[in-house]
Structure 1
């Protein structure tokens, strides 16, 4: 459950706000686009997105959950039979808010909220996958490329080619006395 918004409610009380949003959602699904104030459009968007998600599920429980908000059975039928199949390929962002000029009478900021019914272009999906793949590849290669390479001068170290004469010979039998033990 989302946290309630701070500040004054639309219409005064919480029950009135629910009714206003339910009526706005009903009109949005009936007409596919409505003109309202920016505040109402911003408050309607999460509700409309949730209802479309329920409609995409398409089962009886989802239909009953939508019917608790949208009381018109005809609009619910349109939502489940026409709008939800059009949104099947879309993973979210079912609505679009476009700001328009202020209202003439009281200068209230107005906006158009509409359903995004255009199909998702496959090119955009491929581009998103490609950018994710390149970002993932860049993360794998980044630590190797970003490692600082120091060009420090190499110091000459003495090279030991010949074995030391005092070192014990490994080919000698283990039972044979050593030179130091004879004395």
Structure 2
């Protein structure tokens, strides 16, 4: 018996498809796909969530001092003249950051091997390019899904059958996080 389904694709195509669907599932919480794909995506997503649950509290909080540019009411940087040149004005700010311990850092890098980067684009037309943000899915796994599933041993996803697809009669399902 095979360890995985080939899904009628070559290895690089299959890996890209599964990575894409796992990323979409973790970002949106649910996806609509075929039954065979859903069963494969479920394995990968379950593994990633299990790693995140195991390492969710494995960090230390560190206080660091950062130089941050001073901004005016419009959000633009404040400039000052020093020796005849315009220079951005900075202020020192103390921040608390989470510093990963070695095992959590290793898990973070393993998760990043699977997930694609996600960019959030706002729906309103004005300033769409300027307001895009990269979403940190690994932080979402550690901070949101880790505590949510900490008392659960597997079974993080649910498959709900939707019925046959109109074009090719493939069984369509909804794969969602429990």
> Which structure shows the bigger proportion of residues in strand conformation?
2
- Please state which band the TM-score falls in when normalised by the shorter chain: 0.5 to 0.7
Match of 2:161 among 96, 99, 102: 99
TM-score normalised per structure 1 = 0.57
Match of 2:9 among 3, 12, 24: 12
Measured in 2, the distance between the counterparts of 1:109 and 1:11 equals 16
Residue 55 in 1 paired to residue 117 in 2?
no
Match of 2:109 among 64, 76, 79: 64
Q: Does the CA contact (< 8 Å) of 2:4 and 2:40 recur in 1? A: no
Structure whose alpha-carbon radius of gyration is higher? 1
Measured in 1, the distance between the counterparts of 2:14 and 2:8 equals 6
Work out which structure has the larger RCO, using CA pairs closer than 8 Å and 6 or more positions apart in sequence: 2
Mark the runs of 5 or more structure 2 residues left unpaired by the alignment.
56-103, 118-134
How far the C-alpha of 1:85 sits from its partner, in A, is: 1.2
TM-score normalised per structure 2 = 0.59
Q: Does the CA contact (< 8 Å) of 1:100 and 1:109 recur in 2? A: yes
> Which structure shows the bigger proportion of residues in helix conformation?
1
Mark the runs of 5 or more structure 1 residues left unpaired by the alignment.
117-183
Residue 43 in 1 paired to residue 88 in 2?
no
Q: How many positions carry a matched residue from both structures?
A: 112
Match of 1:82 among 144, 153, 165: 144
Q: List 4+ stretches of structure 1 deviating above 3 A.
A: none
